[in-house]
Structure 1
């Protein structure tokens, strides 16, 4: 319910292009039938955990792939490439297995599963080098575009179904792009003129902030915000 429209449009285009089977676990559905309650701050990213764990359990997935990287955030630096989750979907960094010489252990007990992060050791710059080299198709939101935005807590936010500027916040049209995409109420854009892969490569190479550190308000709740969510089963 708080997704940026360009992301959903790109997802549906990819599904249609490759004839994929799409499973959607929707926070909006859980709110509608009372299985979840809206948070006072309106941020829905933490609410994704319950629908995610239910979908994994219902579909009996043994392994779930994600794009998390160790350079994004401190708790993700503790993550293994094969990350074991218990029968409740919870993550315990002390239970993670050693990964020597690129050997990975995917064994798990019934009810458990593993989260697999093949890009763990990549950096944001590695990602964009690969995108440029292979000409990977991406959602347009990752490239510079004109968008109505307003400043909040040092981030450029965009209005949507999640709300808009508060008193004292001014809406203006600026050239921005997104380095990471999440809940529209807590994910900010950056001011940018980088509309090509080459321009983004130069921009990322000069940046001293990770994409989450620069543009994700949900990670600023506390020093351990991401680790607390991961322990509960968040990706």
Structure 2
């Protein structure tokens, strides 16, 4: 059964809307994991996909509290608005938050800064070591199949070996929403409740559920500079360089990651309705349009996923 057919035929009085069907599928996944695994954790960065995941988890277990902690890999180059949102949300819902710091790994000599200044690829080691340290056996991520071709290969339950590495050949069939969480000691499963959602679905759901977002997702004036065809935020991470001019522009962010690799888009969309109209008219995926780390090579995302990245 797929989300499109979960509620019966389109003419049925009991048919679910596409958002209801996607929500129902995600809630089912959260409950399956809670019942099958001992130590799940939810990756939460304060980005829109992790915000929607947390909203769904709160729904899945209400009125009881969410039965697992949150984990954020902090690169040290995160947008301040997003970190402030993360901390407000954790406090409001009285959640447990683990933070794995890339800066601490650099200070300890376990990681080295990259020449391009981006720390997004450096997240893998802190992430995998946090999973091992806390013995998490299921890790919820906000990846969607429409984002990028490597993520399109993922199952909802994605097995990782004892080194947190991903082998596409070890993925299991998932027929009729039957999920196999079996794993050996030291292995864990990455779980993607939003796999079947699109960027437009996410925004429409945010509008329907009236979910608060960081203001960075809406058009605002910001000091940015042009690099490799993207508007990047000026900061201590390594930008701008000589010859790169900072200017104030009306922009917003479609996706939020490390400041050094996440580009803004020119936009005057200050409301949810305006953002939805903008997304519906776009012919580029959010990562294809605004993520420099995915442009490093043709298989950049898949290479990082094989090493343990999400």
Which TM-score applies when normalising by structure 1? Answer: 0.98
- Are residue 190 (structure 1) and residue 303 (structure 2) matched? no
Report the Cα distance in structure 2 between the residues aligned to 1:48 and 1:198, rounded to whole angstroms: 34
Alignment of 1:57 with 2:132, yes or no, is yes
Look up the match of 1:77: 152
Corresponding residue of 1:102: 177
Of stretches 161-170 and 25-34 in structure 1, the one that deviates more from structure 2 is: 161-170
**Contact 2:138–2:190, Cα closer than 8 Å, also in 1:** yes
The residue aligned with 1:201 is 276
**Cα displacement (A) at 1:167:** 2.4
The Cα of 1:35 is off from its aligned counterpart by 1.0
Task: Note the residue ranges of structure 2 that are not aligned, 5 or more in a row.
Answer: 1-75
Gaps of 5+ in 1: none
SS in 2 for 1:25: strand
Matched, 1:176 2:251: yes
Task: Tell me the C-alpha RMSD between the 2 structures.
Answer: 0.8
Q: Note the C-alpha offset of 1:170.
A: 1.6
Q: Which residue of 1 aligns with 2:210?
A: 135
Of 89, 100, 116, 1:25 maps to 100
Determine whether 1:158 maps to 2:233. yes
Which is further off, 50-59 or 168-177?
168-177
**How many aligned positions are there?**
235
**1:21 Cα deviation from its structure 2 partner:** 1.0
Cα deviation for residue 164 of structure 1 reads 2.2
Higher RCO (C-alpha under 8 Å, 6+ residues apart):
1
Counterpart among 142, 148, 159 of residue 67 in structure 1: 142
User: Structure 1 residue 82: deviation in Å?
Assistant: 0.6
| d(CA) in 2 for partners of 1:104, 1:214 | 33
TM-score (norm 2): 0.75
Larger Rg: 2
